[in-house]
Amino acid sequence: MMAAASPSLAEGNADRGKTIFNRCAACHSVTGQDKVGPHLNGIVGRKAGSVAGARYSKALVNAAITWDEGSLDAFLVAPAKSVPGTSMTVAVPNKTDRADLIAYLKSLP
């Protein structure tokens, strides 16, 4: 089971998170269009591996995860540890950067 969100996640800065997202934009969009990875619009509250037409690893499709602050935080710190077999290899090791990125993702429609 994923860890609960820490208080710092609630305090993330969405404006800084938008800047951090530029690193993610090589594979993900926030325009509703899939790229190498799925679009991230509405990710909070969405079941992992559920965007129709997106390319997912079997591991992510079969993961029993509904994305929230805690599950996103755990995944972003170590994707392969959180979901062994995932095709996502890029981590966000800095806690403040993760909090800001998650705040930005939460702001997306």
Alpha carbon 37 to its chain's center: 11
Cα–Cα distance for residue pair 103/62, rounded to 1 Å: 26
Our count of domains for the chain comes to: 1
74-98 pLDDT tens trace: 999 999 999 999 999 999 999 999 9
Range of the domain at 94: 7-107
User: 90 lies in a domain?
Assistant: yes
Query: Angle at the Cα of 66 (from 99 to 11), degrees rounded to 5?
Result: 20
24-61 pLDDT tens trace: 999 999 988 889 999 999 999 999 999 999 999 999 99
CATH of the domain at 40: 1.10.760.10
CA distances from 85 to 36, 70, 73, 78, 102 (A): 16, 20, 18, 12, 23
Using a cut of 0.95, tell me whether the model's pTM lies above it. Answer: no
User: 1 lies in a domain?
Assistant: no
| Residue 27 CB-half CA count within 13 A | 13
Helix (H, G, I), strand (E, B) or coil at 5: coil
3: pLDDT strictly greater than 80: no
What the block records as the tokens of 7 is: 């208080």
User: 2 lies in a domain?
Assistant: no
CA gyration radius, the chain: 13
